[in-house]
């Protein structure tokens, strides 16, 4: 049975990491997922900035995005950890407080929108494990990547899921794909994204540098993450730390890209060759050069 | 920061304006609906990957951008970003 989802793209994925979006759109039909674009969706808005500056504005903008999905009658599929955090937590706050719901709706009514709290906000990992199912995922694999050793970057927000179940789901998916996850000893360390909003230099010095060094020591073939914030900072850090003569050269994949490769798509079809950190060595290891 | 917090932490100062690192993303959110602007190079990459040149979000939807702007007008977010209509 095909399931419908209101696709919430967020900001970083469509503008900076379109390969994550392209790979999701390629694999969705194979996993019996129908993605419905949320026309007119905006920034979730970003919790590390907007919620800190003005909680009300954070709630109103979240509510508008939630109302867009509700008008489609479909649960939201959030591809970004930060978007999941904002939309999930804003929904919980609004729906559990009838007075707040009324207040929010009085603002939304200016644009003929209304929120009732009928739909859920689901993280991509949640959709794959709970809706699609790991057996279905396994049955869809066309190119086992069993020779690949990856370092997993979960992202802090996944630990906010009930009993950190999304972290387990990430591991379940990696295991189902047959990829070997290498323990590098800094999995739980923040990538530095929130700190980078204050100072990218400090984020690199205090977080990214240590994490990348641990992955390099562990000799991972690539880093895999489901968080565009982590992807952005760890990619930027690899480029900028070259100024300090630090050359990590760790290719990075979003989880949807790793899944798309496993499901038989070529790296060039999904944009693996469009990353800022070179992926040539990874593509060669996968035996997909020139495809 | 509330008045109570100022009493409790007298050495702290009330933040009247946003640090630049916060202001730019907020101004972008109010202007284009998203944190990063969409560069034309990225639009071309999107097209080459077979997905819409402009994402089906506020990036290509002026009505959505206007709605967001109206929604946050009158909130602290708008004021603190020192939004200036003359910038438009």
For residues A95 and A166, state if they share a domain.
no
For residues A141 and A271, state if they share a domain.
yes
For residues A120 and A158, state if they share a domain.
no
For residues A142 and A281, state if they share a domain.
yes
**Contact residues on chain A for B64, CB-CB shorter than 8 A:** 39-42
- Residue of B2, B4, B21 whose CA lies nearest to B76: B2
Indicate the number of domains in chain A.
Answer: 2
According to the model, what pLDDT value does residue B10 have? 79
DSSP string, A100-116: HHHHHHHHHGGGT----
For residues A66 and A171, state if they share a domain.
no
Does residue B30 sit at the A interface (CB-CB below 8 Å)?
no
- Residue of A270, A238, A236 whose CA lies nearest to A254: A270
For residues A86 and A139, state if they share a domain.
no
Taking an 8 Å cut-off on Cβ atoms, the answer to whether A39 and B57 are in contact is yes
pLDDT digits (tens, 9 = 90+) for B22-79: 888 999 999 999 999 999 999 999 999 999 999 999 999 999 999 999 999 989 898 8
- Asked if residue A290 belongs to a domain, the reply is no
Q: Which residue range(s) make up the domain with A45?
A: 3-125
Q: Scan for tokens 């790296």, then name that residue.
A: A267
Taking the CA of residue A177 and the nearest CA in chain B, the distance in Å comes to 24
**Contact residues on chain A for B48, CB-CB shorter than 8 A:** 271
Digits of tens for pLDDT over chain A (291 positions)?
899 999 999 999 999 999 999 999 999 999 999 999 999 999 999 999 999 889 999 999 999 999 999 999 999 999 999 999 999 999 999 999 999 999 999 999 999 999 999 999 999 999 999 999 999 999 999 999 999 999 999 999 999 999 999 999 999 999 999 999 999 999 999 999 999 988 899 999 989 999 999 999 999 999 999 999 999 999 999 999 999 999 999 999 999 999 999 999 999 999 999 999 999 999 999 988 754
The two three-digit tokens of residue A95, written as one number: 């729906």
For residues A47 and A137, state if they share a domain.
no
**Contact residues on chain A for B78, CB-CB shorter than 8 A:** 57
The CATH number of residue A148's host domain is 3.40.50.11810
User: In whole angstroms, what is the distance from residue A239 CA to residue A209 CA?
Assistant: 11
User: In whole angstroms, what is the distance from residue A161 CA to residue B37 CA?
Assistant: 30
The two three-digit tokens of residue B70, written as one number: 């109206």
Structural domain ending residue among the three candidates A92, A125, A158: A125
For residues A281 and A137, state if they share a domain.
yes
For residues A276 and A140, state if they share a domain.
yes
CA distances from A234 to A100, A153, A211, A217, A229 (A): 38, 10, 9, 16, 9
pLDDT digits (tens, 9 = 90+) for A62-99: 999 999 999 999 999 999 999 999 999 999 999 999 99
Structural domain ending residue among the three candidates A90, A125, A160: A125
pLDDT surpassing 90 at residue B87: no
The CATH number of residue A86's host domain is 1.20.1050.140
- Asked if residue A12 belongs to a domain, the reply is yes
- Residue of A223, A220, A230 whose CA lies nearest to A182: A220
Which of A54, A79, A270 should one mutate to test binding to chain B, selecting the residue with the greatest count of B CBs within 10 A? A54
**Contact residues on chain B for A69, CB-CB shorter than 8 A:** none
User: In whole angstroms, what is the distance from residue A98 CA to residue A87 CA?
Assistant: 18
Q: Cβ distance A277 to A17 under 8 Å?
A: no
Structural domain ending residue among the three candidates A101, A125, A149: A125
Taking an 8 Å cut-off on Cβ atoms, the answer to whether A50 and B21 are in contact is no
For residues A155 and A213, state if they share a domain.
yes
Q: Cβ distance A8 to A67 under 8 Å?
A: no
- Asked if residue A291 belongs to a domain, the reply is no
Nearest CB to B76; choose among A42, A49, A53: A53
User: In whole angstroms, what is the distance from residue A113 CA to residue A64 CA?
Assistant: 7
User: In whole angstroms, what is the distance from residue A15 CA to residue B17 CA?
Assistant: 28
- Asked if residue A153 belongs to a domain, the reply is yes
Taking an 8 Å cut-off on Cβ atoms, the answer to whether B65 and A42 are in contact is yes
- Asked if residue A50 belongs to a domain, the reply is yes
For residues A145 and A250, state if they share a domain.
yes
User: In whole angstroms, what is the distance from residue A105 CA to residue B71 CA?
Assistant: 11
- Asked if residue A209 belongs to a domain, the reply is yes
For residues A20 and A162, state if they share a domain.
no
ipTM of the complex: 0.92
Size of chain B, expressed as the number of residues it contains: 88
Angle (nearest 5°) at CA A76 between A256 and A191:
50
Q: Scan for tokens 């039909």, then name that residue.
A: A29
**Contact residues on chain A for B62, CB-CB shorter than 8 A:** none
């Amino acid at each position: 049975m095909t399931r419908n989802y209101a696709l919430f793209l967020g900001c970083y994925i469509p503008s900076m990491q379109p390969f994550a979006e392209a790979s999701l759109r390629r694999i969705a039909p194979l996993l019996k997922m129908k993605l419905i674009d949320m026309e007119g969706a905006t920034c979730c808005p970003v919790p590390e900035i907007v919620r800190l500056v003005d909680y009300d504005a954070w709630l109103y903008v979240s509510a508008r995005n939630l109302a867009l999905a509700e008008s489609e009658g479909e649960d939201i599929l959030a591809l970004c950890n930060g978007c999941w955090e904002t939309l999930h937590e804003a929904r919980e706050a609004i729906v559990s407080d009838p007075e707040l719901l009324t207040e929010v709706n009085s603002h939304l009514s200016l644009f003929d929108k209304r929120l009732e709290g009928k739909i859920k906000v689901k993280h991509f990992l949640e959709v794959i494990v709970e809706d699609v199912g790991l057996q279905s995922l396994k049955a869809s694999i066309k190119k086992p990547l069993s020779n690949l050793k990856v370092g997993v970057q979960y992202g802090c927000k996944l630990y906010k899921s009930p009993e950190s179940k999304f972290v387990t789901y990430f591991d379940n998916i990696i295991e189902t794909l047959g990829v070997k996850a290498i323990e590098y000893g800094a999995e739980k360390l923040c990538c530095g994204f929130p700190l980078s909003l204050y100072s990218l230099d400090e984020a690199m010095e205090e977080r990214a540098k240590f994490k990348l060094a641990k992955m390099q020591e562990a000799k991972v073939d690539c880093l895999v993450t489901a968080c565009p914030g982590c992807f952005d900072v760890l990619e930027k850090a690899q480029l900028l730390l070259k100024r300090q003569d630090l050359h990590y050269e760790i290719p990075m994949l979003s989880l949807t890209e790793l899944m798309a490769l496993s499901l038989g798509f070529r790296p060039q079809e999904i944009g693996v060759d469009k990353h800022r950190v070179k992926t040539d060595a990874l593509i060669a290891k996968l035996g997909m050069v020139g495809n | 920061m509330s008045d109570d917090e100022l009493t409790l932490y007298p050495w702290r100062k009330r933040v009247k304006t946003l640090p630049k690192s916060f202001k730019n993303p907020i101004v972008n959110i109010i202007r284009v609906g998203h944190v990063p602007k969409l560069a034309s190079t990225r639009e071309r990459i999107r097209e080459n990957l077979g997905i819409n040149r402009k994402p089906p979000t506020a990036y290509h939807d002026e009505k959505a951008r206007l709605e967001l702007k109206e929604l946050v007008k009158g909130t602290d977010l708008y004021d603190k970003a020192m939004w200036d209509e003359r910038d438009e």
